[in-house]
Chains A and B, each alone.
Chain A
């Protein structure tokens, strides 16, 4: 709580901060609205708002490929699948299946308590200390960016002659162009092949850093199994009246 007050006191922290607060509030409002609405179609709409804002938060955290995947797979795929499910199962009275007020009250109370526990736990941990205790094995793109920014700003401020200033500005433009080409796609792709380019700053780390080749293969087979299983489960069947047993 004190952290939030500090944030409010010190302003919102530039364009990044403003964008963060806009999308954080949008995603939280969307999530709360998903819980609060009883109409299933409106729930799907608020889910799109919430998941889209989460994708924007991923972009703000320098995870460009993950943000794009979130938009493509979640907002473009999973939610459309859910909306199709709503359409296939909606028949007038099932659009609104009301929860009783007592259950809503109980659920809201338990949820608020859980939220209080989580916020208390997050606020009591000193995350800066903990992240300094982690051995700096990998250089995430954000940390590389911060280091480059510092060195470029230093070279720009030290430069006195016009030639030196032009060289520093050219280096700055080159860095900007490289950043706009995307930072995480190549590293993520290589890590799925079992290589870790972000751990290459020392040979010991490069040898011991785990790649993701085996999980990648497992998830590929998993998707195939899911495809077959979903097609088998959802195949067209003769509809039976309720209570007459199975339809095999």
Chain B
């Protein structure tokens, strides 16, 4: 063995994904939830690039990963605008306090 293979990269991607999911679920700061989303997208990106590197699939994985990076930047911009709006209306960033739409 000795060489670093596909599994090692998939393990790193899995750790990042799980950290992102736990971050999204437990953080009460709205910006912390956004950081969890970034971690999840990076875990997925590692898997895309690893499959592009270690299987004969060509550059499909890298092209998809580039789209993911661009979409993540767009998502962060819109979500931050929403977070700023939320802060302006509620004077807090705690997501647990945003229950005004409850029926």
A residues with a Cβ closer than 8 A to B are 3-4, 6-7, 10-11, 13-14, 16-17, 20, 24, 27-28, 31-32, 34-35, 40, 43-44, 47, 50-51, 54, 57-58, 60-63, 65-66, 69-70, 73-74, 77-79, 81-82, 84-86, 88-89, 91, 94, 97-99, 103-104, 107-108, 110-111, 114-115, 118-119, 122-123, 127, 130-131, 134-140, 142-143, 184, 187-188, 191-192, 196, 198-199, 209, 212, 215, 219, 222-223, 226-227, 229-231, 233-234, 237, 239-240, 242, 247
**Contact, CB under 8 Å: A43 / B70:** no
Please provide the 3 A-B residue pairs with the shortest distance between their CB atoms, ordered closest to farther.
A138-B58, A31-B19, A233-B81
Given contacts A115-B18, A215-B67, contact A54 B46 (CB under 8 A): yes
**Contact, CB under 8 Å: A97 / B39:** no
Known A-B contacts: A10-B2, A134-B55. Give 14 more (CB < 8 A).
A27-B16, A54-B16, A58-B49, A66-B69, A74-B42, A84-B80, A97-B27, A97-B94, A99-B28, A137-B56, A187-B59, A226-B78, A237-B85, A242-B90
**Contact, CB under 8 Å: B38 / A28:** no
The contact size tier of chain B is: 35 or more
CB-CB under 8 A from A32, the residues of chain B are 15, 19
**Contact, CB under 8 Å: B16 / A138:** no
CB-CB under 8 A from A192, the residues of chain B are 63
The minimal Cβ–Cβ distance linking A231 to chain B, given in whole angstroms, is: 8
Closest to A46 in B: B35
Given contacts A66-B66, A198-B58, A247-B89, contact A140 B31 (CB under 8 A): no
Residue among B18, B58, B91 with the highest chain A CB neighbour number at 10 A: B58
**Contact, CB under 8 Å: A107 / B22:** yes
Q: Mark B72-84, 1 if CB is under 8 A from A, else 0.
A: 1110111011111
How many pairs, one residue from A and one from B, have CB atoms within 8 Å of each other in the complex? 266
Identify B70's interface contact among A6, A199, A223, CB under 8 A: A223
The minimal Cβ–Cβ distance linking B74 to chain A, given in whole angstroms, is: 4
The minimal Cβ–Cβ distance linking A50 to chain B, given in whole angstroms, is: 7
Closest to A199 in B: B58
27 A-B contact pairs sorted by A residue (CB < 8 Å):
A20-B4, A31-B20, A35-B19, A40-B31, A40-B32, A54-B46, A63-B52, A73-B70, A74-B38, A82-B34, A82-B76, A85-B31, A85-B34, A88-B87, A89-B30, A89-B84, A94-B93, A103-B26, A118-B17, A135-B56, A138-B60, A139-B58, A140-B59, A209-B58, A230-B77, A234-B84, A237-B88
